[in-house]
Chain A
């Protein structure tokens, strides 16, 4: 085999490891962003949602006629 073959093998090893390292870093970026910046609307809606009290539904006799 030519010297280029062995160099290509070496580059492949470093390259595959490199792309996995990059993707792992980006994975943690996404996790971090998701944690520190959760969807504002959803958070706001949950925080501002009025507490609903349970009210028993009253039926008049007419509704069942």
Chain B
């Protein structure tokens, strides 16, 4: 009897499998030691190990005796949860239940940063086509700049399922790296005088309960009327928010925020890992995607900061916006707002930018979902 018959997994191991097992261990290290998005990176890291052991029963294998396919659990999860978009949409319900839109009512104009800071998505999409990706793949890569994991997963699972693994890894890793990626870009684009700017905000303003209940309903109806393809994304987000704000479903709201979020996150992370097999992941395209992902984050940040500078040209002195706040228009909530508040405090310990930064950051959460819906609507029309 040969060694390959006795230990088929050892004999079938390729260098790509070994690289992916190392990637899996690195993700686990980053999740535990550095606490970079541990809820997603740890299941993904473990899953990467699980699917890179040859003949793993976690993936579908052909039974050599009968020639029939034996379906693996992760493939079943993938078909049920990712291919149908169910897992990311359930995550949106959970995120919606966690979001408080009241900071947006304090200064609604900051909502526009949620649009400006999506600039990097489109720049990256154009650049990705220039380096050889087709339109659908380029759009899926660009959406990494949304800094929004579930949106990235939905867009790439529909437009470029072959790239789902590297896009998910890039989206979640870079979200965790916001404190490292954003500050140098912000510093490069702003003067010290601009970073010292103080903002007036009505942080004591109370928002009507009726307004907070009507907001998710009206946003859903209007988004649906303008772009129905965005309705699954925005609708589930707003449904979660309505559960939170209605005031009569506190138990469901708590469940959505905790149990639902935790359960789906576990399944989502390990299921995405089913796409991280050596032969699919260890490619030049993955390196390109990781590079383009940083590119998207940098241009998103730049888009927000530069838009704030343009807005300031038209605003009265007492209404001017600290350009750093523009960088919070990305969806990484509340990390981006904390980073910018921290940068403001570093320049001037008495400058409190947290409230406007949170407002822009909440705008970014809406903006990223809208862009996801727009891309899903536009790309098939052009492809």
Q: A11, B118: Cβ atoms under 8 Å?
A: no
Given A1-B130, A11-B382, A12-B126, A23:B215 Cβ within 8 A = no
Given A14-B378, A23-B112, A9:B126 Cβ within 8 A = yes
Q: Bound state CA distance, A33 and B211, in angstroms?
A: 5
- Provide the residues of chain A in CB contact with B211, threshold 8 Å: 33-34, 37
Q: B222, A25: Cβ atoms under 8 Å?
A: yes
Q: B108, A41: Cβ atoms under 8 Å?
A: no
Q: Bound state CA distance, A5 and B211, in angstroms?
A: 43
- Provide the residues of chain A in CB contact with B268, threshold 8 Å: none
Q: Bound state CA distance, A2 and B134, in angstroms?
A: 9
A59 contacts partner chain B, Cβ-Cβ < 8 Å: no
- Provide the residues of chain A in CB contact with B112, threshold 8 Å: 20, 23-24, 27
Chain B interface residue count: which class? 35 or more
Q: A23, B206: Cβ atoms under 8 Å?
A: no
Q: B115, A23: Cβ atoms under 8 Å?
A: yes
In chain A between 19 and 55, which residues have their CB closer than 8 angstroms to a CB of chain B? Answer: 19-27, 29-31, 33-34, 37-42
Q: B215, A29: Cβ atoms under 8 Å?
A: yes
Given A4-B134, A11-B382, A24-B112, A30:B129 Cβ within 8 A = no
Q: B125, A8: Cβ atoms under 8 Å?
A: yes
A65 contacts partner chain B, Cβ-Cβ < 8 Å: no
Q: A15, B374: Cβ atoms under 8 Å?
A: yes
Q: Bound state CA distance, A37 and B214, in angstroms?
A: 10
Chain A interface residue count: which class? 20 to 34
Q: Bound state CA distance, A27 and B108, in angstroms?
A: 6
Closest to A10 in B: B382
Q: B126, A8: Cβ atoms under 8 Å?
A: yes
Given A11-B378, A37-B214, A19:B367 Cβ within 8 A = yes
- Provide the residues of chain B in CB contact with A1, threshold 8 Å: 129-130
Q: B122, A23: Cβ atoms under 8 Å?
A: no
Q: Bound state CA distance, A8 and B371, in angstroms?
A: 14
- Provide the residues of chain B in CB contact with A20, threshold 8 Å: 112, 115
- Provide the residues of chain B in CB contact with A2, threshold 8 Å: 129-130
Q: A15, B371: Cβ atoms under 8 Å?
A: yes
A38 to chain B, nearest CB (A): 6
Given A19-B374, A22-B226, A40-B208, A7:B135 Cβ within 8 A = yes
Closest to B126 in A: A8
A16 contacts partner chain B, Cβ-Cβ < 8 Å: yes
Q: Bound state CA distance, A14 and B363, in angstroms?
A: 20
- Chain B 138-162 near chain A by CB (<8 Å), digits 1 or 0: 1100000000000000000000000
B219 contacts partner chain A, Cβ-Cβ < 8 Å: yes
B32 contacts partner chain A, Cβ-Cβ < 8 Å: no
Q: Bound state CA distance, A35 and B219, in angstroms?
A: 17
Which of A10, A18, A34, A39 is within 8 Å of B227, CB to CB? A18
B79 contacts partner chain A, Cβ-Cβ < 8 Å: no
A27 to chain B, nearest CB (A): 5
Q: Bound state CA distance, A18 and B109, in angstroms?
A: 17
Closest to B377 in A: A18
B→A interface (CB under 8 Å): 104-105, 108-109, 111-112, 114-115, 118-119, 121-123, 125-126, 128-130, 133-135, 138-139, 205-211, 214-215, 218-219, 222-223, 226-227, 363, 366-367, 370-371, 374-375, 378-379, 382-383
- Beyond known contacts A2-B129, A29-B222, A37-B214: 12 more, CB 8 A cutoff: A7-B383, A8-B125, A8-B135, A15-B374, A16-B119, A25-B222, A30-B104, A33-B211, A34-B108, A34-B207, A39-B205, A39-B208
Can you name 30 A-B residue pairings with CB atoms under 8 Å?
Answer: A1-B129, A4-B129, A5-B126, A8-B125, A8-B138, A8-B139, A11-B135, A11-B139, A12-B122, A14-B374, A15-B122, A15-B371, A15-B374, A15-B378, A18-B227, A18-B370, A19-B115, A19-B118, A19-B367, A19-B370, A19-B374, A22-B223, A23-B115, A23-B363, A23-B370, A24-B112, A30-B108, A33-B218, A34-B105, A34-B108
